[in-house]
Structure 1
Amino acid sequence: MKIYTKTGDDGTTGLVGGSRVKKFDIRLEAYGTVDELNATLGVLRSMSISESDKLLIIEIQNKLFNIGSRLASDEKGETYTANLAITDGNIELLEKAIDEYERDLPELTHFILPGGDPASAQCHVARTVCRRAERRVLEFAGEMPTHVNTVKYLNRLSDLLFVLSRKTAKENGVADTAWKKD
């Protein structure tokens, strides 16, 4: 299969299911931002983090591909991607990881500045991209029943990435930097 098709040269792109939309359609902004999030997680996975965290990130990246596929599906295409929907179990997996990570961290009593070591800083980059992806999905899908769990998943994922930034910094010997009001 060739990577280029030339069918998008007119400013449109094909959806799963066959219809075409303009490349500036909010749907593309939504799944494009999810794709950007996936790429930022790929960078994070290449950094100094534990093997178990790398495995969790791979699982998350696969779920993000599922989300992108669902967002890129028109009405006809939804029949092909229905089995890729985010489940309550997918959300619970993130919640369990958050709870596990938080048990080993000092209580948070102040806002912290993004940064620390490179992996922790990359967690913060991924977290902010995740928040943007959540907003774009909400803008496109709103309260569509087929995407309610997608929004929940992205919301929980941004929380996980915040906690993972703290966990990673601690494991790499870097303390949180408190925000100081001037």
Structure 2
Amino acid sequence: MLRDDWGFEGLVVSDWGAVEDRVAALIAGLDLQMPGGSPDPDAELVAAVESGALAPAVLERAAGRVVDLVAKAQARPAVPGPLDVESHHALAREAAGRSIVLLTNDAVEEGAAPLLPLAADASIAVIGEFARTPRFQGSWSCWTRCWPSTRVSSSCCRTGPSWRCRSRTGCRRSSRPGC
């Protein structure tokens, strides 16, 4: 669908640990598997090609897309001058603000006014550790520091004229399922 119906010509990359069957994933259109999944995915590919379960052309096509991406990245001209972090952050905030979509603005109670806009004296609870110490990318790379870090817990409380804001951790971050 991605390539045939939508005409996508780029590289298809898995998420970390998301591929259970690399051969089936390649046949389905995956080009680059991120780490995780089976213990030796390269050996699986070799065995699949040797047994005839995977056509070499499928593997060559995926490898070609990876090589094409590397070539495009190497051909990109260097950006002149220093990085203007503040203007990039301002642009990111503007883009985020413009991308927010309100799916519904129904009344909380029957016959009451819609939830938004919030009353000037509203009381707001922000629950969750990520509202205070956000993660931007996911698992191992989520510790990337973005500057400046905009925290939900503090930015929403600065927005309202006299909102009463409280922030709590909620569930502690851990590796336990459900937490």
Whether TM-score is above 0.5 comes out as: no
Q: TM-score, normalised by structure 1?
A: 0.27
Q: Whose radius of gyration is greater, 1 or 2? A: 2
- Structure (1/2) with the larger helix percentage: 1
Q: TM-score, normalised by structure 2?
A: 0.27
